[in-house]
Amino acid sequence: MICRRFIVAFMLAGALANVPAFAQRPIGTLLGEWTGESKCVGNNRPAWRDEQVVYVVKPAEAGQNAVSIAAYKIVNGERVLMGTADHKYDEATHRLSYEFTVNATHGRWEFTVDGASMTGTLTVLPDNTVVRRARLTKSKS
């Protein structure tokens, strides 16, 4: 019995040795392309429009509990990069978050991941006004 357990453990360790370390962690399931929509909430930003979006999620250089998200909107069938940012990942709550300041706007993106679905909000701080809601589905690894 002990010998059989040792063999199974040895085979499992060998199999995992061929998988990149990042992909072995739960955060590795976030990697890939996510497609969906980002919709405006309220009329706080009249110049903003609802958008079809593609998020490309890659390992972040910032650390083990972070991913880099390149966010694209689709314009005339083409991807237009809106920006790239490292998002912290909380494995316990399955939440991604990114806080930023651009010009006079201080905000926070937060996403909740549930399998192949991701929903999120863009909140303007410090008044906590939600100005955008996003819904995405994982399309590629």
CATH tag, 26-140: 2.40.128.120
Q: Return the SS3 of 72.
A: strand
pTM of this structure: 0.79
pLDDT bucket at 88, cuts 50 / 70 / 90: very high
31-84 confidence digits (pLDDT tens) = 999 999 999 998 777 788 999 999 999 999 867 799 999 999 999 999 999 999
Predicted confidence at residue 61, as pLDDT, reads 87
Predicted confidence at residue 31, as pLDDT, reads 96
Predicted confidence at residue 25, as pLDDT, reads 52
Pair of tokens at residue 108: 């926070």
Bond before 59 cis per omega within 30 degrees? no
Bond before 126 cis per omega within 30 degrees? yes
Domain boundaries, the chain: 26-140
Predicted confidence at residue 4, as pLDDT, reads 45
Query: Based on the number of CB atoms within 10 Å of its own CB, is 91 exposed (0-12), middle (13-18) or buried (19 or more)?
Result: exposed
- Within 10 angstroms of residue 53's Cβ, the number of other Cβ atoms is 19
Please identify which residue in the block is written with the tokens 């999620």: 57
